[in-house]
Amino acid sequence: MHDLVRRLHPLCRSITGDGVRGTLEIIGEHLPLAVREVPTGTEVLDWTVPKEWNIRDAYVKDASGRRVIDFRESNLHVVGYSVPVSGTYSLAELRPRLHTLPEQPGLVPYRTSYYAETWGFCLSQDALDGLRDEDGPFEVRIDSTLAAGSLTYGEYVVPGRLPEEVMISCHVCHPSLANDNLAGIAVAVALARRLREPRHTYRFLFAPGTIGAITWLARNRERLHLVAAGLTLACAGDPGALTYKRSRRGDALVDRAVTHVLRDRPHEVLEFSPYGYDERQFCSPGFDLPFGSLTRTPYAGYPEYHTSGDNPDFVTPAAMEDTLDALTRVVEVLEHERTYLNLSPYGEPQLGRRGLYGSLGGRSDTKQAQMAMLWVLNLSDGEHGLLDIADRSGLPFAAVKGAAESLLDAGLLKEKA
């Protein structure tokens, strides 16, 4: 996963353009991705697909010809969607177009202007402080194009036995930022490769933030009733604890599955808010899809957020593994959640004669497997699924699922119709 982060890092992604295409191409080396192109001007919900932006080079040169700001060094140096520029400016003329982080003087900020045509550069406060009027005039050039083209996104679908879908959505529009969201992309790719003949259909969406999700929603309206559970996945590799933000519904299956899995590791659970990643769109009130958001340190919660400090060294293989492990367990819950009916609901059935219970009584160290059987029998009244039982008993889902399988084999349960 970390290799994929490092490989994707240099690309200059934005909400459209060749940076997204290159990113999807690399993902496509790992997954048979379907890539979609949606032309500029297409109306999507309340929005319109914007012009496509591409950039080849950009710089500010001082009077000596030295590049004092250089796109080739980091694509963060150019405000995303900057229009083409070629001219000479004094430092005073340039200043309003130079964005810095005075509180974090060594870092370059990430800035965009998708829907207002303008241009600008980003640089560290230290670099800005090093510029002097007398080094000018400055030659400014942004070799970009902003023109009719298309918006690009990719989808990978793992067909399941059921048409109901579990969706994982990652934004692919941020340029050289590692945790936000190359780590999320890398974890999603790894998860997708682990799935083997799942029960649900799994859909992985790699699309630019906001406009990409809106475009996908606009083109898939008639299929949205099939979305059984969804997650936006972002900031998946920083060293902080996992954080789950609930769906707008708050108690959807995905909310219950993720909070169950996180119960046994350091984590935080946040209520829904209409900000953050594309859960904003999936959970808009007209759709109200069961989408939560899984991150490690959430949106804007770490100092490196949206700066050049969010580089591949900031994300760790261990953190990405941990995110992947949690997601794998969430998938296990989603795949195996069922409601059973106890076929012997009057008193406890005699587990001993079915070989399901230790024969030596009086001991108090009753094992987890036996407790799980008793819980499954007691709550399998048609009102409680395995996840309810796991939550109420405090037992891991896997133990409850294992108990249900044993009881099913013994003819003591049947699946609720």
Q: Which residues bind its own copies (CB under 8 A)?
A: 45-47, 80, 109-116, 118, 210, 213-214, 217-218, 221, 248, 271, 273-275, 280-281, 283-288, 299-300, 305-306, 342, 344-350, 352-353, 359-364, 366, 371, 374-375, 377-381, 392-393
User: CB of 246: closest distance to its own copies in angstroms?
Assistant: 12
Give me the DSSP letters along 19-72. Answer: HHHHHHHHHHTTS-PEEEEEETT-EETTEE---EEEEEEEEEE-TTS-EEEETT
- Write out the E strands in 31-174: 34-39, 43-44, 47-48, 52-61, 67-70, 85-89, 98-99, 121-122, 138-147, 150-158, 165-171
Nearer to its own copies, 81 or 138 (CB): 81
Nearer to its own copies, 360 or 417 (CB): 360
CA distance 157 to 201: 7
User: CB of 116: closest distance to its own copies in angstroms?
Assistant: 4
The SS3 call for residue 387 is helix
Is the N-terminal amide bond of 50 cis, ω within 30° of 0? no
Distances (CA, A) of 359 to 32, 346, 373, 406, 409: 53, 22, 15, 17, 20
Q: Which of 306, 54, 63 is nearest to 171 (CA)?
A: 306
User: CB of 326: closest distance to its own copies in angstroms?
Assistant: 25
Q: Which of 72, 291, 304 is nearest to 180 (CA)?
A: 304
Nearer to its own copies, 259 or 393 (CB): 393
Nearer to its own copies, 27 or 100 (CB): 100
Nearer to its own copies, 33 or 101 (CB): 101
User: CB of 314: closest distance to its own copies in angstroms?
Assistant: 16
Angle between helices 317-336 and 253-262 (to 10 degrees): 130
User: CB of 335: closest distance to its own copies in angstroms?
Assistant: 25
> Tokens for 272?
């829904």
Dihedral sign computed on CA atoms, order 99, 104, 107, 113: negative
User: CB of 215: closest distance to its own copies in angstroms?
Assistant: 10
Nearer to its own copies, 1 or 395 (CB): 395
Nearer to its own copies, 334 or 395 (CB): 395
User: CB of 263: closest distance to its own copies in angstroms?
Assistant: 16
Determine phi and psi for 379, rounding to 5 degrees. Answer: -100, -5
User: CB of 88: closest distance to its own copies in angstroms?
Assistant: 25
Nearer to its own copies, 198 or 240 (CB): 240
Angle between helices 368-379 and 397-409 (to 10 degrees): 70
